[in-house]
């Protein structure tokens, strides 16, 4: 089981699909947290990488790209 934790540094919008299931939208305010569990993988759309930090099983996830640009990730 994998746990993805999202920690907002500002206003963050994300869309997360766990194990290929229907994506869930997240709109986090400053310093809000949310988490999602999956058996295999996550597909994540981050609208602004500088507004959120991601952690997989407690370990930081590097989000590529520039601040303000949308980024799509597949982890692990």
- Residue the block writes with tokens 């229907």: 22
Tens-binned pLDDT, residue by residue, of the chain (76 aa): 999 999 999 888 999 999 999 999 999 999 999 999 999 999 999 998 889 999 999 999 999 988 888 999 999 8
pLDDT of 76 = 84
Answer yes or no: are the C-beta atoms of 30 and 59 closer than 8 Å. no
d(CA 75, CA 9) in angstroms, rounded, equals 21
pTM of the model: 0.91
pLDDT of 49 = 86
Residue ranges of the domains in the chain? 2-75
Fold of 2-75: Immunoglobulin-like (2.60.40)
């Amino acid at each position: 089981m994998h746990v993805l934790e999202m920690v907002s540094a500002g206003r963050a919008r994300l869309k997360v699909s766990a194990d290929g299931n229907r994506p869930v939208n997240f709109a986090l305010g400053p310093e809000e947290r949310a988490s999602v569990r999956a058996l295999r993988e996550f597909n994540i759309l981050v609208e602004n990488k500088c507004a959120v930090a991601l952690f997989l099983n407690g370990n930081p996830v590097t989000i590529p790209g520039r601040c303000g640009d949308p980024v799509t990730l597949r982890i692990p």
